[in-house]
Amino acid sequence: MRLEEYAGFDALGLAELVARREVTAKELAETAARAIEVANPAVNAVVETYRDRIEGLDEKTLGEGPFRGVPFLMKDVLGHEKGRLCEWGSRLCKGLVTEVDSHLCELFRKSGVNILGRSNAPEFSMSATTENALYGNTSNPWRKGYSAGGSTGGGQAAVTAGMVPMAHGSDIGGSIRIPAGWCGGVGLKPTRGRISAGPSLDEGGFGMTMNFVQVQTVRDAAAMLDCLAVPQAGDPFLVPRPAEPYAAIARKEASPLRIGWSVKPLMDAPVDPEVAAAVKATAKVLADMGHHVEEDDPVYDGVASITSLLDFWFFGFDVRLEAYGERVGRKPGPDTLEPATLALYEHARGLKAAHFFAANAANNRARRSLGAYWGRHDVWLGPTLAQVAEPHGRYNLGLSGLSALEYILVTSRPVQFTVPHNIMGTPAMSLPLAMHSSGLPIGVQIAGPPATEHNLLMLAGALEQAMPWKDRVPPLHVSRLTA
């Protein structure tokens, strides 16, 4: 298979070729390996490939789900596959081997994907940009030297560049939606508890972290949600889901929905006028579809919320890093952690239970205030990010001379619109609905109350038809790098 042909299919498209025996899963794996060899030197999205899953692939080991044979990357954060490295993008964890499969990994395998490598991530997934001292910076496929976003920048950049059609993503403050927004992909953060975090955890990030995938099409997101939204023994919550599969729902037309839109900044960081214009244009398209659309700003103090989240997110962070260090024979310090990570580690060492409970109470107040929006609207429409991608070096964990609070406030400014949905645990989705005059993608975010992924997928499917992005190809794409 020619690389440009391979890169023109989404994940379901490749799976259909395998099902029709027009190509084998091993041929797809070998093609993906060639695509990585061609594009990765320019993008640096992939940190390891598994030769046993490429030329040594035993196709009988693949699951029988809808993505059978599709090349796939696991993020180097929460990529818990027994016997494989998971280094968390950190020198502290270099060489760390996973001891047990996560339920997520088991569900990925059942979906049929061929996990053939790891994607790059910032240290401990704690940055809105994928830059680290262990493996280097991941470039946005639309512009070399610009951020691909974080923390799943490696996964989304690999998808956008045509290396693989789908990759694992995780999201504690926007880490699926940020790279989707900056790279021009599709990024859904599901409802809290929708996808199991077991067996080693009940919930990631005290309930704020959700795992899913980075993709380019709505149908891929919907079909994979069917594969992953499967309760596992011991899960603390059972989240209701529709009777119909998400893959079928995504093809349907949504009944008229109440949609509120807003471009008002949520903290002291302006929204790029072109980003705001993209949201307004989307609002008009949705109104023309028959939805009830009105401008309405949520009530939320982003600075106060982020300040509280510092003590919430990082309570116990020191214990966690020290435990990793014991497993590999290293200690947290300036030689093993990046400057901002070290500041966050030191901050965590000073936290008491009272700090955590106060932060948790602040989260509850923010959740109640934000949740009032769902009394007026079924969908919140807004920017994914306040501006388009920026050059490397502005938000990474290598920044020095900043306190823990200063770092988290600086790096939250561009991603101020993603965090509220982690606080609420609500589903939110970034769609690549416009391009900036600078030549970089603009992400527009749609979100809804808990357990309403079905509404988002129907809207996303309609917007994919009305405001298509399929034909946009970035400069650092397999098809262009091989031309």
Instruction: Kindly list the catalytic residues.
Output: 75, 151, 175
Q: Which two tokens stand for residue 372?
A: 């009032």
Q: Give the Cα separation of 447 and 444 in Å (integer).
A: 10
State how far the Cα of 281 lies from the Cα of 258, in Å rounded to an integer: 17
20/41 Cα distance (integer angstroms): 33
3 state DSSP class of 279: helix
Residue 86 has a CB neighbour count (10 Å cut-off) of 21
Task: Note the residue count of the chain.
Answer: 483
**What distance in Å separates the CA atoms of residue 380 and residue 79, rounded to the nearest whole number?**
31
CA 435 to chain centre: 20
Q: Which two tokens stand for residue 35?
A: 């695509």
What is the H or E stretch that residue 357 is in? helix 353-371
- Amino acid symbol at 157: A
Dist. CA 320–CA 323, nearest whole Å: 5
Nearest alpha-carbon partner for 314 in 333, 291, 340: 340
